[in-house]
Amino acid sequence: MSSDNGTNSAANFMHGIDDLIDDFTFLDDWEDRYRYVIELGRELPEMAEADKNAQTKVHGCASQVWLVTTASGAPENPVLTFVGDSDALIVKGLIAILLRLYSGKSAREITGIDAMQALGEIQLQDNLSRQRSNGLASMVERIQADARAALS
């Protein structure tokens, strides 16, 4: 088994962020980009109502946000899969973007991803309200915390 020096992680993440940048670049203005984010949210798989509880709630978001993390594979570096939902369509779209960047990657890969920096490339945070931007940061921190916990 080869050691992961972060090269695969960086390549996988950059592929994901490159796809996202391409999607956003294709759209002419932020009104179209917001519609795209909302459409991504509409395409999210439904989350079971039973999973929308105090343990899965993401704190620090203005909207209701829930995130369920499932680990599989090697206990020393499990692959994490995320399912999320929100009561706000734009936030569901932000969840969809984060799941595209993080879900299905190993915990070690996830801890090496700086999504906020990468999302800065598409100026996502610059075009969100302060509350939405803070909520996005809270979702990223929750994903990172779950990855750190999976490694301990």
- 107 occurs within a structural domain: yes
Say which CATH number the domain at 92 has: 3.90.1010.10
The verdict on residue 63 lying in a domain is yes
Q: Looking at the domain assignment, is residue 1 inside a domain? A: no
pLDDT tens-digit series, residues 66-78: 999 999 999 999 9
Question: Of all helices (H) and strands (E), which one includes residue 68?
Answer: strand 65-72
Residue 54 counted as domain residue: yes
Mean pLDDT of 37-62: 92
**Three state DSSP letters for 93-132:** HHHHHHHHHHCCEEHHHHHCCCHHHHHHCCCCHHHCCHHH
Active site residue 61: yes
For the chain, give the percent of residues with pLDDT over 90.
51
User: Is 2 contained in some domain?
Assistant: no
Query: How many structural domains does the chain have?
Result: 1
Question: Mind listing the pLDDT tens digit for each residue in 90-132?
Answer: 999 999 999 988 999 999 999 998 888 878 777 777 778 888 8
- Classify residue 46: in a domain, yes or no: yes
Residue 17, classed as helix, strand or coil, is helix
- pTM score, two decimals? 0.83
Domain that holds residue 36: 7-151
**Does residue 143 fall inside a structural domain?**
yes
Q: Is residue 28 part of a domain?
A: yes
Candidate list 37, 61, 97, 128, residue with the active-site label: 61
**7: buried, middle or exposed (CB in 10 Å: 19+, 13-18, 0-12)?**
exposed
